[in-house]
Amino acid sequence: MIPQPEQFPALHALTVLAFALHIGGGFVALIAGTIAIFASKGGPTHRRAGKLFFIAMLVMATFAIYLGIVVPDRVNIFIAAFATYLIATAWLTVRRKEGTIGLGERIGFLVALLLCAPFVILSIQLAAGLPPLFKSTVPLEGPVLIAIYGFTSVLLVAVLSDAKVLVTGGISGAPRIARHLWRSCVGLTLAAGSAFTNGFARLLPGHYHVPLAFFLPQFVPLVLLIFWMIRVRFTDRFAKSPVTTPG
């Protein structure tokens, strides 16, 4: 619930502004991300759309964290932090010179570990039938349980990917582009999921519910990700990393 104006007028105004910037950033991110994912990789359209997507996602995630603290909502804080990590490391991958690493990669690895550890513990507890790490108002079963296992799997991949980059001293060629692609697409998936299942669904009449059709848009970036990952990994087009800085 938004803080009421008669209680904390300044906080209420700031929270309303945060909602507007969060929604606006998410809308721009969806448009820019869609353009970037369909545009020719490395071309001017892809670079401009990618830069706008990066900025819009950071705006959306930053104010989502603020709203998660004010409302409060721990789940939204985690998802926003995860989205920020994905987009920041995707951007850093194409900004960094091939075969090199810096402070950003080390920080990214630590963030991935911090995000991953509680979900690994929670997944093991749920799989073993033990009491969960934290209490939830939503039953940890069915689609929610699948989502938890999905988040855990993606976070484990992210941690292992970051560790590999640190051990090898950098990344280049097709693996570099693949790293940029999957992190950007998963970030776009989170934005689509937030928009359709948490945003647009609230505009429907009656009690809050999420129609099955509202889950479908977030799978579109994942399907396109499979297409691009196959093209990157199994063709020679991206062997020399044509995708550079998104700016």
Residue 175 forms part of a structural domain: no
User: Is 243 in the same domain as 222?
Assistant: yes
Nearest to 41 by CA among 219, 190, 232: 232
Residue 186: pLDDT band (50, 70, 90) is very high
Please state, for a pLDDT cut of 70, what percent of the chain lies above it: 84
Q: Would you say residue 39 has pLDDT above 50?
A: yes
- Of 210 and 180, the structure prediction assigns the larger pLDDT to 180
Tell me which of 116, 138, 169 is where a domain ends. Answer: 169
pTM: predicted TM-score of the whole model, two decimal places: 0.83
User: Are 179 and 161 contacting, i.e. CB atoms less than 8 angstroms apart?
Assistant: yes
Tell me which of 114, 142, 169 is where a domain ends. Answer: 169
* Burial class, 83, CB count within 10 angstroms (exposed 0-12 / middle 13-18 / buried 19+): buried
Residue 56 is predicted with a pLDDT of: 94
User: Is 118 in the same domain as 189?
Assistant: no
* Burial class, 103, CB count within 10 angstroms (exposed 0-12 / middle 13-18 / buried 19+): exposed
Q: How many angstroms separate the CA atoms of 104 and 169, rounded?
A: 13
User: Are 78 and 115 contacting, i.e. CB atoms less than 8 angstroms apart?
Assistant: yes
**Segments forming the whole domain that contains residue 23:** 1-96+183-247
Tell me which of 169, 202, 229 is where a domain ends. Answer: 169
Q: How many angstroms separate the CA atoms of 103 and 204, rounded?
A: 45
Q: Would you say residue 220 has pLDDT above 50?
A: yes
Q: Would you say residue 122 has pLDDT above 70?
A: yes
User: Is 126 in the same domain as 79?
Assistant: no
Count up the domains in the chain and report the number. Answer: 2
Residue 49: pLDDT band (50, 70, 90) is very high
User: Are 100 and 92 contacting, i.e. CB atoms less than 8 angstroms apart?
Assistant: no
